Amino acid sequence: MYLIEITADCREPLADMRSLRLEEAEVRIEDVMGHIVMKFYETVQIIEIRLHTSARSSCYAIYVRMQCDEPSSLARRRGEEFMESVLEGRLGTTLTEFFEDVEVKRVTITRLPAPISKS
């Protein structure tokens, strides 16, 4: 099992994004991010998504935390560091569908310890 955390700063939301309430924008971003990660992991569960806006500017801070099961064979062969780089690029490109300027600050993939089975 893996934990993936993503943080991004986005500026100048496009018209579609500006017209959404905050909760609707979170759902849209959650859907897109989940689909991208599912290309590399069998099961993706979004644990937390936070979208913060600044009242004085058109900036958004995005934080997503998700839990994933087994990686695809590509992700397994290439390792976490490679996948962090791939996800950073794909997520950044996809977020430009919603924002003029996107900076993916961090993508981390952490392998979680296997649960201890009771005998």
Where exactly are the structural domains of the chain? 2-111
Instruction: Report mean pLDDT in 10-residue bins for the chain, 119 residues.
Output: 93 83 88 92 92 77 92 85 92 92 94 72
Q: What pLDDT, on a 0 to 100 scale, did the predictor assign at position 22?
A: 83
Whole-model pTM?
A: 0.85
Six-digit token pair at 68?
């994933």
Start-to-end CA distance of the chain, whole Å, equals 21
Q: Per the CATH hierarchy, to which homologous superfamily does domain 2-111 belong? A: ACT domain (3.30.70.260)
Q: What pLDDT, on a 0 to 100 scale, did the predictor assign at position 57?
A: 67
Q: What pLDDT, on a 0 to 100 scale, did the predictor assign at position 116?
A: 65
